[in-house]
Amino acid sequence: MATAVNTSTVRPSKATDRLQRHPRLQRWIRNNGAPLMMCLPAILLLFVFAYLPMFGVIIAFKEYRFDAGILGSEWIGLTNFKFLFGTDIAWRITRNTLLLNFLFIITGTVMNILVALLMNEVQGTLRARFYQSAMFLPYFISWVVVGYFVYAFLNVDQGILNQFLARFGIDAIAWYRKPDYWPTILVITSLWKGVGYGSLLYLAIMLGISPEYYEAAKIDGATKIQQILYITLPHLIPVVIILTMFSIAGIFRSDFGLFFNVTRNQPTLYPTTDVIDTFVYRALRQMNDLGMSAAAGVYQSVVGFVLVLVANWIVRRIDPDRALF
């Protein structure tokens, strides 16, 4: 004969009792518990590799000694920052970082959208697959290899570009001793390597636009340019704003591989190609000054954070619905 279980003596746990007393919390966990568990590995990864290392920021305020460690090194306050900003190096690397990354953002956004528009016109054909593969392939090439490609074009003695100029009676140009040319060279190199990958997101958005918009526009007599201006581009504006905000967030963080390998770390090019990342690398490798390199890194992060806030404030003033926060 089965015995009845006295359920009145079974007490819920404290967590269950808390959930029962807070139905809103219970509803939130039911709706967001599974996505939160899926994001947990990424959150842990971000915490371990992005937030825990922030403890090392104090190196910028110390005269770091390897034998004493971080905590045992002498506290010197803002001395590293005074030494950094006491020379023209700080102004040079800040100017180059901002100007070059600003050029990358503007030219990259324009070319990504333009390439996506062109690819959208040839979708569904064999040419489209060939074009996509050809433009996407440079993204997987290392900057070290790209640096050799650029050197093969710009070498003084046997460079392809100088040989081409010689056919027109133009003397060979020592490209690696002419810093004025290099902002343009770096922009072209960056576009060649990244435009195939950067246009994919815009192309995906274009493919998601309902064909009914274009059919209605054709019935009204809209030309292809008008369809792009009044249908395609308005759908891209939110994504352009978000990606631009993310780019501004990293405007103080340059692509080290581009600026180090493509320029071959030539001191004669520093006036226009030396950025914060390459300076930090040289400060560690050549000067062995960990404190000053950490100070440059802190300066890089703080100014980048301020730029994000300013950019978001400007977007919010223009169109509050487009702001990130």
DSSP string, 12-35: PPHHHHHHHH-HHHHHHHHHHHHH
Evaluate whether residue 11 is within a structural domain. no
Q: For tokens 């062109």, name the residue.
A: 118
Evaluate whether residue 263 is within a structural domain. yes
What is the pTM (predicted TM-score) of this model? 0.78
Joined together, the tokens standing for residue 125 give 């054909």
CATH number at residue 119: 1.10.3720.10
Give Cβ neighbours of residue 63 (< 8 Å, ≥ 6 apart): 73, 74, 76, 79, 291
Evaluate whether residue 284 is within a structural domain. yes
Q: What is the pLDDT along the chain (325 residues), one digit of tens a residue?
A: 445 545 445 455 565 566 566 677 777 878 888 888 898 999 999 999 888 888 888 888 988 888 888 888 889 888 888 877 877 788 888 899 989 999 999 999 999 999 999 888 877 667 778 888 888 889 999 999 999 999 999 998 888 999 998 898 888 899 999 999 999 999 999 999 999 888 988 988 898 888 898 889 888 888 888 999 999 999 998 888 888 877 877 788 888 999 999 999 899 999 999 998 888 888 778 777 788 888 888 888 888 788 878 877 877 887 777 676 7
Asked whether 182 and 198 are in contact (CB, 8 A), the reply is no
Evaluate whether residue 305 is within a structural domain. yes
Evaluate whether residue 7 is within a structural domain. no
The secondary element (H helix, E strand) that includes residue 74 is: strand 73-75
The amino acid present at 216, given as its one-letter code, is: A
Evaluate whether residue 48 is within a structural domain. no
Joined together, the tokens standing for residue 159 give 């460079």
> For the chain, how many structural domains are there in total?
1
Evaluate whether residue 32 is within a structural domain. no
Range of the domain at 246: 79-322
Evaluate whether residue 177 is within a structural domain. yes
Asked whether 96 and 273 are in contact (CB, 8 A), the reply is yes
Q: Is 45 helix (H, G, I), strand (E, B) or coil?
A: helix
